[in-house]
Structure 1
């Protein structure tokens, strides 16, 4: 298999962490693009993914883009039921939370960290305080849902991390960044969950390098 990723990308990180968690390192040829240098902007890569985005998985004649389905594919390939259940109700729960993180939780979180962290990294202007405030309001709404859900469990689907935690928690490094302004202290269960995810061996192996190193 060949996996195309980049540094400083929550979507790339979740897939790389899944590769490590599933023990697929020896079977996966990881190709890292330097997006700062535009290494992905080639006709060859456009033929693989017309969106010209990463991550992308190529397994023989099969090509798959988008992080969440790539993780499901890898888990099914490995037969990792505990990490990604394949029974009808278990798979529906996976899809429910993955849809929720894309549409709500990480969209709100992303709005905040784009203004407070990413703009500084990329040098593209000052933070927009109104957008930060709106993002924080949205984050509080959806973090409250997750806070309640975690009241009687350590991870989203129970007592062990699953593909859902890798999806919902994909922005953990950005959320925990000291400049992020994500109001995590208001949600102690969510904060503890993100910290436990950062301590997970597969997740720790994929911790983002500083921007200066990632751009080299």
Structure 2
């Protein structure tokens, strides 16, 4: 059986848990990370040299990086609705997944650490202001995309792009800071909130 390693409050673990719930996929879950078993433990580092969650074990396969795990699980279940088989539509989904992991995540990192985690290492007001502005600017890019599609991040149907971006958007809404009104993002977020799996693992009170 599929095994998921990582604490259930982690934004990246929640991507995987949401997807599994969405696909009604059975799995075993082990809590690893802050407050649980240390990811610095030799047995965990052997699975992921980055010492970060999530990690999955599926038979002999060990896999890390949350977006890659999501791609694998959707492909494993032959869910072409979530990750299209044809190159053109698949690339649209993966484009927004990669944007989430590289551009959007980098934009919010300092602001989240300062405002939510209260990290002493993130107390520079100028750096905070830059991060908030960058985060909001990237969310405006997502708003423009959603206004264009009128539905979901990569087009008319729900895909993996919405899973990874939905978690990031929940974090944006839950971080105590000023943010612009983004009507397309708000409408999309409410559409996501009609999905029980998102309410269980995405919009569940954890930023």
Fold match by TM threshold 0.5 = yes
Q: Which runs of 4+ in 1 moved over 6 A?
A: none
Once the two structures are superposed, residues 23-66 of structure 1 have per-residue CA deviations (whole angstroms, 9 ceiling, x without a partner) of: 11x2x111112413553221111111111111111111111100
* Cα distance change of structure 1 residues 199 and 132 upon mapping to structure 2, 3 Å threshold: farther
- Asked if 2 retains the 8 angstrom alpha-carbon contact of 1:175 and 1:182, the reply is no
TM-score (norm 2): 0.87
* Cα distance change of structure 1 residues 124 and 195 upon mapping to structure 2, 3 Å threshold: farther
* Cα distance change of structure 1 residues 210 and 141 upon mapping to structure 2, 3 Å threshold: closer
CA RMSD of aligned residues (A): 2.3
Aligned ranges for residues 10-25 of structure 1 at < 5 Å? 10-24=11-25
Tell me the residue number matched to 2:93.
94
Question: Which 5+ residue runs of structure 1 have no aligned equivalent?
Answer: 212-216
Larger relative helix fraction:
1
Question: Which 5+ residue runs of structure 2 have no aligned equivalent?
Answer: none
- Tell me which of the two structures has the higher relative contact order, counting C-alpha pairs closer than 8 angstroms and 6 or more residues apart: 1
How many residue pairs were aligned?
Answer: 204
Distance 1:203 1:140 in 2: 23
Q: CA deviation at 1:129?
A: 2.4
In the alignment, does 2:203 pair up with 1:202? no
Q: CA deviation at 1:104?
A: 1.3
In the alignment, does 2:34 pair up with 1:35? yes
Q: CA deviation at 1:210?
A: 6.3
TM-score (norm 1): 0.84
SS at match of 1:156: coil
SS at match of 2:29: strand
Aligned ranges for residues 181-200 of structure 1 at < 5 Å? 181=177, 183=179, 185-200=180-195
